[in-house]
Amino acid sequence: MMHNNKWLRTIAAITVALSVFAAGCSSNNENNSGAGGSEPAESASPAPTETADAGSDASPSPSAEASASAEPSADAAASETPAASEEAAVEPTAKPSAKPSAQPSAKPTAKPSVKPTAKPTAKPSTKPTNKPATAAPSAKPTAKPSEKPAATPAPSADVTTSDIVDKILADVELPMTIAVTGEQVEDMYYFNPDDYITEGVFRQAMMNVKATELVIVKLKDEKHYDAVKEGLTKRAEDIIESFSTYLPDQHEAAKNYQILRSGTYVLLSISEDQAAIKAAFEASLK
């Protein structure tokens, strides 16, 4: 809207300037035509008398005054025309009639006219006809073992504690030992043999520089095992204590004592080869 108003004002200014310029030109033409007409009049009239000359000197003729008055108007018109033309020249002719013609006439022509023709026409015709030929096992294992493993036979009642000791001494090399009998058994092993066992063998190292001990007893009843085990444990602790201040190797051997039971047979042993004694004890009861 502002651009249109400025444009209209510019056109109006140019129109006014052209009008003033045309008026000035018409005034000049009229003055020129008036001056041309007076000159023939003067040439046609006879020469004035002196009286006329004197009169003419005193008061100028009307035609001369008219021409004199007309000339300033032409000058004024001429002076006004440049002013108007200067105003017209000073103002800028016009701002651009419009904004730049347009943004690019069009966006890129188009996206690809056709999408990819189609998805695959069909899924694979069929699934694999069969699963792999391998199959689950045809049947579970036929059955559990028909019988449980046979139980370990109980020790023979004919085996004596002396037989067991002889077997151990034959299989394992031990230092020289002596037998403990009578009241010494209760004093050293903390139970009365007559109360808990039917028979037994008690052997100790002959020399007090060895911790070797071998005891085999047969219980009157399996319920007596705890009382007998308690007495044998106290005997082992006494040996450990006796070697606690000297002979470290024997002290370690004493701490490695073992108490084993098979049925009514009970073993206490202290040696440097406890595994061999255990094997011989178990073998003698088969």
Query: What are the residue boundaries of the structural domains of the chain, listed by start?
Result: 1-36+60-96, 161-284
Q: Which amino acid is it at 273? A: D
Q: What is the pTM of this model?
A: 0.48
Mean pLDDT score, 140-150:
47
**What is the mean predicted confidence (pLDDT) over 246-269?**
96
pLDDT band at 111 (very low <50, low <70, confident <90, very high): low
Most confident of 8-12, 83-87, 88-92: 8-12
220 or 133: which leads in pLDDT: 220
Give the C-alpha separation, 284 to 286, whole Å.
6
* Average pLDDT score over the chain: 71
Q: Are 254 and 269 in contact (CB under 8 A)?
A: no
Residue 189 has pLDDT above 70, yes or no: yes
Which pLDDT band, with edges at 50, 70 and 90, does 15 fall under? confident
C-alpha to C-alpha distance for 73 and 82, rounded to whole angstroms:
15
Q: What angle do CA 137, 141, 144 make, to 5 degrees?
A: 165
Query: Cα-flanking dihedrals φ and ψ of residue 170, to 5°?
Result: -75, -35
110 phi and psi angles, rounded to 5 deg: -175, 160
* pLDDT grade for 45, boundaries at 50, 70 and 90: very low
Amino acid at 208: N
CA distance 184 to 191: 11
CA distance 34 to 219: 179
